[in-house]
Amino acid sequence: MKISLIQMNSVSDKAANIAVATKLVGQAIAEERPDWICLPECFDFLGGDRAAKMAAAEALPGGPAYAAMQTLARKHQVYIHAGSLLEKPGTGDRIHNTTVVFDRTGAEIARYRKIHMFDITAPDGTKYNESAAFAPGSTIVTYPCEDMIIGCSICYDIRFPDLFQALAAKGAEMIALPAAFTMQTGKDHWEVLCRARAIETQAYVCAPAQTGAHFAGKELRQTYGHSLIADPWGHVIAKASDGIGIVSTRIDRALVKKVRAQIPVAQHKVQFD
């Protein structure tokens, strides 16, 4: 199966972001002819204040970002794992950070709401408080794609191995990780965490990321980029540099089976009290 990751520099201009995402998906299809395409976290809107985020959020199914990706999947007969987009809540005053997946017909086949909220203090003292605007999800999600099972995660989820183990236990052979890693955490932790989760789950980890600068209110923030694909042995088999663009490779389900047979960690797990 051939896959393509889209690396973006989304900002607080929803129409512009959707236009860029549409162009890059079209470019990937024309140049790479992939079976599966994944966009980064918050591809439709990144930054802005809480009110701007709420205004940009969509009631799913529907909305311009949802419709654009659904149309592309149907038109080009390709699976689109639509990174994550901002979802209006049914109740309450916090939105969701939500992945939506479309199959080759444009049918929605999976929806995942980010479980772990990015409430941290960066090394330079910058505070991130995702839970102020976003409500966490609680459901572990996998879906079939061709002959593989794909697991869903988003960005900060990568720091919680239990989620990835749960995805593997549900049959995931590839795990999608759309992200918007900060520059400070990304330069030290991004690749090593992606590789660690791949090694632990013996699955492909496919991680499209945001790159470049955006404003969160009046504060300028930098994202790390370096979208990558790690194989079940932990090798990085494709990686983007800085800037907007596409990274593609072929993945092989047989390698998952081979690695899991060589080192059958799932059979060696011990339950502790």
Secondary element (H or E) of residue 142: strand 142-145
Q: Give the position of tokens 């591809």.
A: 43
CATH of 2-267 given 3.30.2130.10, 3.60.110.10, 3.40.50.300, 3.90.180.10: 3.60.110.10
Residue 11: pLDDT above 90?
yes
What pLDDT shows up at residue 168? 98
Dmax (CA) for the chain in angstroms is 53
Binned at pLDDT 50, 70 and 90, residue 100 comes out as very high
Under 8 Å between Cβ of 97 and 134: yes
CA atoms within a 13 Å half-sphere pointing along the CA-CB vector of 50: 11
88 an active-site residue?
Answer: no
Residue 218: pLDDT above 90?
no
155 an active-site residue?
Answer: yes
Structure tokens at 34: 């992939």
Residue 227: pLDDT above 90?
yes
Q: Mean pLDDT for the chain?
A: 96
Q: Which amino acid is at 71?
A: T
* Alpha-carbon gap, residue 220 to 218, rounded angstroms: 7
Which residue of the set 38, 155, 194, 206 is catalytic?
A: 155
Residue 271: pLDDT above 90?
no
Q: What's the pTM?
A: 0.97
87 an active-site residue?
Answer: no
What pLDDT shows up at residue 66? 98
pLDDT tens readout for residues 157-182: 999 999 999 999 999 999 999 999 99
Which residue of the set 14, 38, 41, 53 is catalytic?
A: 41
For the chain, the structural domain boundaries read 2-267
